[in-house]
């Protein structure tokens, strides 16, 4: 039997995502009510620009005083889609204090202060849900947090930023340079006017922190995530990748160490074999590959950004939180019991693709191989091409630590026969 008193929902932010949340709440009100078990009422919308026309939203619901809205005391759920650290952090904790559960899409805040937000939710007996914070419409947070709660996740490997995947896909499929591909992404609305957060890996790093924390039951903050952007990836890198049967993706990689005693989280461009499922993810789509003991390999794929996909994830959380509210229960909170240390990037072990500019003369290959051996880095394959006294030497290693590879490259730069290090890229997904 459906409860007649509605669940009251406040919306913080009414931009691309917020307006879509409000639209779906209105147009699918009957369906939402049936799924939740009670009507869902939009009780207020906090915005910065009150004079902007917002189709389908009663102007009487609009306010610029977000603090007063979350302090009302009669709200059941607060949906936060304003982003950033402040005032979002204060508004969320204030909502808990005044009796509301929270649904958020704020990856940056959760990556930085997730532990404190979970603690505040726990203190007040409220829910904190954030499916929309990672990979848009793709169900990922809840499967990791609930469906795989009985399993041991060992690795999460994914494309979690649509802008960078679109750019790299264009570079691979058309031969376009980085700037040309970025310009097209901007024109199509995939890239912001300032694309720094995307192309330098900040967005993906925040998502990696969230995923690692949930997957490994360990607190992982944004500062724990090693981050490299993709602005230095060139057409030559793609040519080298193709020769190896690979493509290049900006990957978020969260791994449990082989001995299970630590974890790592990192974001960087990497070559990935064309045979790997992630290699076929095109355009602005996202995909995340999860490896666990019992389930084996799982892949989650779909649109990772945009108003409608993100709103879908928000509303999925809203329904779940609404059901909990009606049942007098709460969903899972933070699970950080494992408290595993997060290892630095220097301890990460992977394969590497190194392209060197060298002198085209006898003995160069022997010198280079000696340097690799002296630093404990085993060579898998070597390819050399040269003419007119200059040559390129491409070395692919077996698995080695980042620290060992760093020492190798530093020593290579000191060789008279090495003119320069053209590129270094990790090889993942094997």
> What are the residue numbers of the active site?
207
Between strands 226-227 and 263-273, the pairing is parallel
Cα dihedral 255→258→259→260 (10° resolution) = 30
For helices 307-327 and 16-27, what crossing angle results, to 10°?
60
Q: Which two tokens stand for residue 303?
A: 């649109």
Contact residues for 98 (Cβ-Cβ < 8 A; gap 6+): 70, 71, 72, 73, 75
- Determine whether 392 is exposed, middle or buried from the number of CB atoms within 10 Å of its CB (0-12, 13-18, 19+): middle
Query: In 3D, which of 111, 138, 399, 107 has the Cα closest to residue 281?
Result: 138
Q: Which two tokens stand for residue 73?
A: 């005391």
Give the separation between CA 117 and CA 120, rounded to whole angstroms.
5
Q: What DSSP character marks residue 146?
A: I
Contact 269, 429 (CB under 8 A): no
- Alpha-helix residue ranges (DSSP H) falling in 261-401: 307-327, 364-374
How many CB atoms lie under 10 A from the CB of residue 332?
13
Widest pairwise Cα distance in the chain: 85
Q: Distance between CA atoms of 247 and 380, rounded to whole angstroms?
A: 19
């Amino acid at each position: 039997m459906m409860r007649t008193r509605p669940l009251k929902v406040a919306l913080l932010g009414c931009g691309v995502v917020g307006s879509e949340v409000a639209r779906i709440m209105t147009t699918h009100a009957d369906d939402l009510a049936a799924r939740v078990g009670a009507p869902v009422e939009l009780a207020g919308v906090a915005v910065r620009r009150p004079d902007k026309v917002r189709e389908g939203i009663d102007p009487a619901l609009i306010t610029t005083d977000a603090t007063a809205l979350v302090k009302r005391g009669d709200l059941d759920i607060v949906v936060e889609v304003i982003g950033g650290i402040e005032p979002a952090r204060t508004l969320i904790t204030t909502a808990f204090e005044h009796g509301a559960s929270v649904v958020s899409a704020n990856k940056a805040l959760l990556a930085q202060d997730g532990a404190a937000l979970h603690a505040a939710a726990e203190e007040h007996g409220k829910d904190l849900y954030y499916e929309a914070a990672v990979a848009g419409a793709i169900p990922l947070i809840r499967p990791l947090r609930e469906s795989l709660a009985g399993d041991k996740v060992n690795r999460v490997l994914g494309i979690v930023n649509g802008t960078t995947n679109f750019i790299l896909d264009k570079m691979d499929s058309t031969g376009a340079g980085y700037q040309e591909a970025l310009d097209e992404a901007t024109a199509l609305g995939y890239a912001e006017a300032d694309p720094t957060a995307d192309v330098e890996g900040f967005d993906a790093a925040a998502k990696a922190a969230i995923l690692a924390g949930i997957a490994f039951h360990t607190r992982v903050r944004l500062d724990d995530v090693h981050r490299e952007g993709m602005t230095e990836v060139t057409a030559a890198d793609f040519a080298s990748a193709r020769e190896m049967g690979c493509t290049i993706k900006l990957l978020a990689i969260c791994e449990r160490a082989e001995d299970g005693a630590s974890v790592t989280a990192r974001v960087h461009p990497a070559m990935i074999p064309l045979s790997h499922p992630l290699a076929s993810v095109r355009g602005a789509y996202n995909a995340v590959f999860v490896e666990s003991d019992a389930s084996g390999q799982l892949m989650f794929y779909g649109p990772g950004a945009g108003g409608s996909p993100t709103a879908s994830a928000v509303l999925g959380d809203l329904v779940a939180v609404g059901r909990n509210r009606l049942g007098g229960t709460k969903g899972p909170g933070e699970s950080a019991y494992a408290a595993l240390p997060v290892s630095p990037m220097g301890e990460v072990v992977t394969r590497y693709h190194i392209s060197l500019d060298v002198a085209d003369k006898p003995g160069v290959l022997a010198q280079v191989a000696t340097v690799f051996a002296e630093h404990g880095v085993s060579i898998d394959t070597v390819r050399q091409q040269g003419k007119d006294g200059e040559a390129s030497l491409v070395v692919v290693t077996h698995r080695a630590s980042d620290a060992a590879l760093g020492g190798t490259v530093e020593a290579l730069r000191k060789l008279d026969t090495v003119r320069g290090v053209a590129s270094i890229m990790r090889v993942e997904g094997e």
